[in-house]
A and B are shown apart, each in its own frame.
Chain A
Amino acid sequence: MKAQKKFAVGSLIIIATLIGLAYVGYTQSKTYYHTIKELATLSPAALHQRMRVSGVVENGSIKHVPGQIDFVLTEEGKSMPVNYVGADPLPDTFKDGAQALVEGKLMSDGTFRAELVQAKCASKYQASPVAPNTKTTQIRPAEVQPGQASPEPKGS
């Protein structure tokens, strides 16, 4: 067999193995993202997959119950009750009005059982209304509206 053919066969074996490994890794780690709005339209099978849902923590909805923390996530006018049952302490950024991302499963009663909660700061930084090509940033007197601060978004 010519060297080039041998190389082609070897490459095919390697690629096939890697695709197989990739598929296994994919099925182990895939996570679905859904918006709260979408949840109502999902098929029953899709409803019981592990998923991530994001939203804003409704003001005053955080309740510490023994063994879990309950709160309500809202997005685009829809809301979803969440029970957080994870062992990790909630991040300090988790508070009323914060952007939160929950990971877990949707129960049949419509509450979300979350094992993981991530939260982003309640938008201290808001996008500044800079009109393109104007060299000014409009601000209210004595108060800045700073632009998006973007530290290297490393880790979670």
Chain B
Amino acid sequence: MDILGSFALLLALIVAAYAFFAGIAGIITRRALLKKSALNAGMAVFFLVTIAVAVLEFFFFTNNYSLAYVAEHSNRALPAFYKFAALWAGQEGSLLWWSWLLSAYAFCVLFLNRKKHPELMPYVGVVIAGVQIFFLTLNNFVANAFNVLAAPAASGAMNVVALSDGRGLTPLLQYPEMVIHPPMLYLGYTGFTIPFAFALAALLGRYPGEKWIHITRRWTMIAWMFQTIGIILGAHWAYNMLGWGGYWEWDPVENASLLPWITATAFLHSVMMQEKRGMMKIWNVWLVFTTFMLCILGTLLTRSGAVNSVHAFAQSSIGGWFVSFLAIILVVCLLAYWKNKDYLRSDNQLDSMISRESSFLFNNLILLAACFAVLWGTLFPVISEWVQGTKVSVGAAFFDSVNVPIALFLLFLTGVGPLLAWRKTSTDALKRNFAWPAGIGLVAGAVAFTLGFRDFYALMCLMLGVFVVLTILLEFFRGARVIASRESTNMLTAVGSLTMRNTRRYGGYIVHLGMVMVFIGIAGQAFNKDVRAELKIGQSLRIGPYTILCQNFDQPGNDNYQSQRATLEVLRNGKSEMMLFPERRFFPASGETETIVANRSTPLWDLYVVYAGQSPQDGNPVIQAHLNPLVKWIWFGGIVVVIGTLLALLPNRRASIVLAPVREKAWDGTIVEAATHKVAAVSTRGAGDD
């Protein structure tokens, strides 16, 4: 069986290489049959990699411990759920998983477009095959998941052996979310290959028209959505599993997942400048290139364990491969750009500071600043060692001091940007759109201030959050009112029909609403409280309105782990509210410890209690309690963002001509407006039929 897996992988590499070279030959010789054959080969890779993945899973599920990878990451007692997830628990398997997801994306793209864009698709196929060659080379020759276990026999010859049981999956990964989180994040990382392929293909082939930019935008949205889910799930996992009371600590691996997300977010905004005004073409192409390169960098950081530890950039065979691949991509992108830069000439220029264009420009500027700051901070230990010879790391204070103001400015633009007109906005329109939301936002801030909230950033976040939510609701209200009166339906139906008629616009608003919720949740951090105390039975600690009374300590355990557990009663105003059981488990098999957090989560706050271990002085149990306001809003906000993205991906139910009067009323209905709107209608229809 393992031979089948290895063989399928090797064949996949050969077929990908064929897709690459035959594609190039087809483009040069202009032979349609060759181009078609190359694209078919690109689709075939998917089936071959699928066979390899299926074989590996077969070994996991049949408890066949003759493969080194299976023996390392699974054991007989492991629940089936986690046996599936064990596939990506280690380097070899996760790289195979990368290849599989990439080949699945490639299959979808090549299949869906098999009869479209005959000039563009051969280039796309070549770029995708190029990326596949790299990963399949790793799968075959550098980190092969099908290495068998062998032992020297008496004669000295090597014999294949199978173990009776494997070493099991690390307990930190034995958590339901870890089954979904890595695939989501990987769907994000691999997904950015597709927009990259289209952008590079369009540039290389000097593909006329803007069609490719619509396709690129849609695929970027899909990858962006998965990346968002992956990041939020990762934060949620860290919050619930690592027991330090937070969800984000600017760890290099977290940063790695954030970097392409930021540049993709920038692209999804600036792409509108290109669609509607023919501006920012160079910038957009480079945003797509950068996003893909940051994905490779992210995989490099995650997989080689670089930067993360004191032993940063230890010699790791896989790291060198990724660095070389990054260098190749950079060179290819630079060459493609240098040869075809006249293809990307801008049609228009910035007309006014108070316009949609300038809000997008500022949005991109600060998103890129955030990306640069995060990248710089993540790589700082390496950079400082090169420059100064001393390794210096920067902590949360660095990341926060740059990114918090950026986040607030972005929040401001979220409210303002979508309501500014293209080219130039009149003062009248500004007043009409923003007077009420801004006024109410200020009032909310004043009320919070008198109630005793003094944290500057949190107050700003509150005011801006209120402002943004109101501008969005006002947009929905104005649009729905027109529909409701025209079609004499109620407002709720009208909101639904409004959203479905211009999914891109209103889905986008819903994404913005979700982001506001996430920001509000993050701002709650400013009011975090935590208390740490050594508790003997009968003693208590106070946090916020709660008194936590220690009732018992015990050491339950089973074959799998030994546990230390506290039984805590939580009282509020003298009344018993709930029992919490924070726990700390030690797994003798792996020698690892797992913290089981007792978290009581409500929309207002989380009461998050951890059994922190025993005091180093006298061995008393130490309980750490956190009161974290508004954390739940982050998870809900994430769900709203995903719903909004899905809506925005749906095709419009009908062309958005009905909306014209609304827009004329909302903006100043000049000829410029009407012209822009026509373009908008055309482009949404165009985006709908990809």
What residue of chain A has the Cβ atom nearest to residue B301's Cβ? A153
Residues of A within 8 A of B381 (CB): 33
The verdict on A26 contacting B394 (CB below 8 Å), with A14-B365, A14-B366, A154-B242 known, is yes
B interface footprint on A21-42 (CB within 8 Å = 1, 0 otherwise) = 1101110111111100000000
Q: Which residues of A contact B526 (CB under 8 A)?
A: none
A sample of 4 more A-B contacts (CB under 8 A), given A30-B393, A132-B142, A147-B69, is A14-B366, A25-B394, A30-B394, A121-B592
Q: Say whether A108 faces chain B, with CB atoms less than 8 Å apart.
A: no
Chain A residues, Cβ within 8 Å of B456: none
- Lowest 6 A-B CB distances belong to which pairs? A89-B613, A25-B401, A29-B395, A29-B397, A25-B398, A33-B391
User: Which A residues between 122 and 156 are near B, CB-CB below 8 angstroms?
Assistant: 122, 124, 128, 130, 132-133, 135-141, 144, 146-156
Total count of chain B residues near the partner, CB < 8 A: 90
Say if the beta carbon of B455 comes within 8 Å of chain A. no
Chosen A-B contacts, 24 in total, with CB atoms closer than 8 Å, are: A6-B353, A7-B358, A11-B362, A14-B366, A25-B398, A26-B398, A28-B397, A52-B393, A68-B616, A88-B613, A92-B584, A137-B68, A139-B161, A141-B151, A146-B72, A147-B72, A149-B72, A149-B170, A150-B91, A150-B303, A151-B173, A152-B182, A153-B253, A154-B234
Q: Is the CB of B150 within 8 A of A132?
A: no
Chain B residues numbered 332-376 whose CB sits less than 8 Å from any CB in chain A: 349-353, 355, 358, 361-362, 365-366, 369, 373
The answer to whether the Cβ of B461 comes within 8 Å of any Cβ in the partner chain is: no
Contact call B622/A89, Cβ cutoff below 8 A:
yes
The answer to whether residues A3 and B147 also contact, given A11-B365, A146-B71 and a CB cut-off of 8 A, is no
Q: What residues of A have a CB within 8 angstroms of the CB of B149 in the complex?
A: 136-137, 139, 144
- Please report the C-alpha to C-alpha distance between residue A84 and residue B151 in the assembled complex, in whole angstroms: 45
Q: A89: which of B182, B234, B400, B615 is its contact (CB, 8 Å)?
A: B615
Looking at the complex, which one of B144, B167, B251, B353 makes contact with A144 (CB distance below 8 Å)? B167
Judged by a CB distance under 8 angstroms, whether B107 is at the interface is no
Interface residue B593 (Cβ < 8 Å from any Cβ of A): yes
Contacts of A152 in B (CB 8 A): 173, 182, 234, 253, 302
- Also in contact, A66 and B148, with CB within 8 A (given A144-B163, A153-B305): no
Q: Is A91 an interface residue (CB 8 A)?
A: yes
Residue B276 CB within 8 A of the other chain: no
A17 located at the interface, meaning its Cβ lies under 8 Å from any Cβ of chain B in the complex? yes
Most A-side CB within 10 Å, residue of B6, B147, B253, B590: B147
Instruction: Kindly state the separation between the CA atoms of A148 and B167 in the bound complex, as whole angstroms.
Output: 12
- What is the minimal beta-carbon distance from A4 to any residue of chain B, in angstroms? 5
In the assembled complex, the Cα of A4 lies from the Cα of B358 at a distance in Å of 9
Q: Which residues of B contact A156 (CB under 8 A)?
A: 242, 244, 249, 251
Q: Is B141 an interface residue (CB 8 A)?
A: yes
Contact partners of B167 in chain A: CB under 8 A: 144, 146
Q: Which residues of B have CB within 8 Å of A130?
A: 68, 147
| CB atoms of B89 and A151 under 8 A apart | yes
B residues 136-173 in Cβ contact with A at 8 Å: 141-142, 144, 146-152, 158, 160-161, 163, 167, 170, 172-173
Give the residues in chain B near A74, CB-CB below 8 Å: none
Q: A87 within 8 Å of B by Cβ?
A: yes
> Is A110 in contact with chain B by the CB < 8 A criterion?
no
Which of chain A's residues have a CB closer than 8 A to the CB of B69?
Answer: 147
A18 partner residues in chain B, CB cutoff 8 A? 366, 369, 373, 402, 405-406
Chain A residues contacting B613 (CB-CB under 8 Å) are 88-92
Does B317 belong to the interface (CB within 8 Å)? yes
Instruction: Considering the complex, give the chain B residue whose CB is closest to the CB of A21.
Output: B401
> Are A29 and B90 closer than 8 Å at their CB atoms?
no
Which residues of B, 383-424, contact A by the 8 Å Cβ criterion? 390-402, 405-406, 409
Known contacts being A4-B349, A92-B613, A121-B592, is A135 close to B147, with CB within 8 Å? Answer: yes
B593 surroundings in chain A (CB, below 8 A): 91-93
Q: Is A47 among interface residues, defined by CB-CB distance under 8 A?
A: no
B540 at the binding interface (Cβ < 8 Å) = no
Given A25-B400, A150-B91, are A124 and B369 also a contact pair (CB < 8 Å)? no
Q: Which of A92-123 contact B (CB under 8 A)?
A: 92-93, 101, 120-122
- B73, CB-defined interface residue at 8 Å: yes
Nearest residue (CB) in A for B620 is A89
CA–CA, A35 and B251, complex, Å: 22
Complex Cα spacing A124 to B136, Å: 30
| Chain A contacts for B592, CB-based, 8 A | 93, 121
Given contacts A101-B310, A130-B147, A139-B149, contact A150 B90 (CB under 8 A): yes
Interface residues of B in 152-201 (CB under 8 A from A): 152, 158, 160-161, 163, 167, 170, 172-173, 182
- Contact in complex: B90, A7 (CB < 8 Å): no
Q: Identify B393's interface contact among A33, A93, A147, CB under 8 A.
A: A33
Contact of B351 among A3, A26, A87, A154 (CB under 8 A): A3
Is B591 on the interface with A (CB-CB < 8 A)?
yes
Whether the Cβ atoms of B590 and A124 lie closer than 8 Å is yes
Chain B residue at minimal CB-CB distance from A68? B616
Q: Which residues of A contact B361 (CB under 8 A)?
A: 7
Cα of A22 to Cα of B251 in the assembled complex, Å? 17
CA distance in complex: A52, B593 (Å): 24
B614 located at the interface, meaning its Cβ lies under 8 Å from any Cβ of chain A in the complex: yes
Determine the chain A residues whose CB is within 8 A of the CB of B249 once the complex forms: 155-156
Chain B residues near A101 (CB, 8 Å)? 309-310
Check: B532 CB closer than 8 A to any chain A CB.
yes
Asked, given contacts A32-B392, A121-B592, A135-B148, whether A155 binds B402 with beta carbons under 8 Å apart, the answer is no
Contact with B along A42-60 (1 / 0, CB 8 A): 0000100000101000000
* Chain A: CB-nearest residue to B592: A121
Q: In the complex the two chains form, what is the Cα distance from A32 to B388 in whole Å?
A: 11
Task: Give the residues in chain B near A138, CB-CB below 8 Å.
Answer: 150-152, 158
Residue B224, interface by CB 8 Å: no
Contact indicator per residue, chain A 75-93, by CB within 8 Å of chain B (1) or not (0): 0000000001001111111
Bound CA–CA A39/B402 (angstroms):
32
A13 vs chain B, min Cβ distance (A): 11
Q: Name, among B152, B305, B391, the residue most crowded by chain A CB atoms within 10 Å (CB to CB).
A: B391
Chain B residues within an 8 Å CB radius of A10: 353, 362
> A45 → chain B, closest Cβ, in Å?
12
Contact with A along B223-246 (1 / 0, CB 8 A): 000000000001001100010100
Given contacts A69-B616, A146-B72, is CB(A154)–CB(B369) below 8 Å?
no
Q: Report the nearest A residue to B399, measured CB to CB.
A: A25
Q: Which residues of A contact B311 (CB under 8 A)?
A: 54
Q: Tell me whether A135 and B144 are in contact (CB under 8 A).
A: yes
B586 located at the interface, meaning its Cβ lies under 8 Å from any Cβ of chain A in the complex? yes
Q: How near does chain B come to A74, taking the closest CB pair, in angstroms?
A: 14
Verify A155–B401 contact, CB threshold 8 A.
no
Q: Are B616 and A90 in contact (CB-based, < 8 A)?
A: yes
CB closest chain-A residue, reference B147: A137
Cross-chain contact B398 with A22 (CB below 8 angstroms) = yes
- The smallest beta-carbon distance between B233 and chain A, in angstroms, is 11
B238 touches A137 (CB 8 A): no
Would you give the shortest CB distance from B231 to chain A, in whole angstroms?
Answer: 12
In the complex, what's the smallest C-beta–C-beta distance from B532 to chain A, in angstroms?
7
Minimum C-beta distance from A35 to chain B (A): 9
Question: Is the CB–CB distance between B353 and A7 below 8 Å?
Answer: yes
Distance of A12 from chain B, by nearest CB (Å): 10
B150, B355, B373, B395: which contacts A139 (Cβ < 8 A)? B150
Distance in angstroms from A36 CB to nearest chain B CB is 12
CA distance A154 to B302 in the complex (A): 10
B151 touches A139 (CB 8 A): yes
